[in-house]
Amino acid sequence: MAEPASRLFRPDEADDDTPSTATEAALKRLKRDLIRGVLPSGRKLKIRELTERYGIGASPMREALAQLASGGFVNIESNKGFRVAPVSRSHLVDITQTRQIVEGEALRHAIANRTEAWEEEIFTSFQLLKWEIDRRDSRSEEWLDAYEERHRRFHLALIAACPLTALKQFCEDLYTQMTRYRRMLKEMGFSEQIGSSQHEEIMSLVLDGDVEKAVATLRDHIAITATAVLADDRI
């Protein structure tokens, strides 16, 4: 299938994700530090310390923590407040296998309900991801954040045409939980772009409508992070 060409690709294209409320600001900054490991696994999250650290009030901070708890980043302890959710081998296996199932099914539905706009977004998000990889600077946390956002956009673009909203949201939640483990790859000596060569293959299979191969390749791709992390004995 020919590449979509109804719009020009701009490598500086980015979504406007500027927080509009204090809760959104707290959520964004907390999630960033959870993914980076600045707030490590199992750490007690004290509201007073967090408000001082981020300069955000207690109420929006609690709301942000509650949202992070629903997303699996934070645990709520009865009468004890909040704590960073632990990372573990069993949790990684759980979310990886679940992602393989649900994201594969979401991709099937997306291909069955394909639109021109969906194809264009897949192509654009792939080009943005490729451009980010080409300017690689793994020493920079800012670059790692930018790479992760491009990677996320590509994966969500693949399933965007799926008409099942709850399924897509579940896929996004699982993807987000996986980011903590993907960020661990750097500490373990792996390239953060491990498996990136599969992105173009997945895109081509999807745009060609090769459902079975596309789903199988996506599932193999999802497993790469777990395979690498589980080969290390740090968790």
So what's the pLDDT on residue 120? 98
89-230 matches 22-84 in CATH topology: no
Q: The pTM is what?
A: 0.82
SS (H, E, C) the chain: CCCCCCCCCCCCCCCCCCCCCHHHHHHHHHHHHHHHCCCCCCCEECHHHHHHHHCCCHHHHHHHHHHHHHCCCEEEECCCEEEECCCCHHHHHHHHHHHHHHHHHHHHHHHHCCCHHHHHHHHHHHHHHHHHHHCCCCCCHHHHHHHHHHHHHHHHHHCCCCCCHHHHHHHHHHHHHHHHHHHHHHHCCCCCCCCCCHHHHHHHHHHCCCHHHHHHHHHHHHHHHHHHHHCCCCC
So what's the pLDDT on residue 193? 58
The CATH number of 89-230 is 1.20.120.530
Any idea where the domains of the chain sit in the sequence? 22-84, 89-230
22-84, which class in CATH? mainly alpha
pLDDT by 10s per residue, the chain, length 235: 444 434 444 444 444 455 559 999 999 999 999 988 899 999 999 999 999 999 999 999 999 999 999 888 999 988 789 999 999 999 999 999 999 999 999 999 999 999 999 999 999 999 999 998 888 777 788 888 898 999 999 999 999 999 999 999 999 999 999 999 988 887 776 665 566 789 999 999 999 999 999 999 999 999 999 999 999 887 8
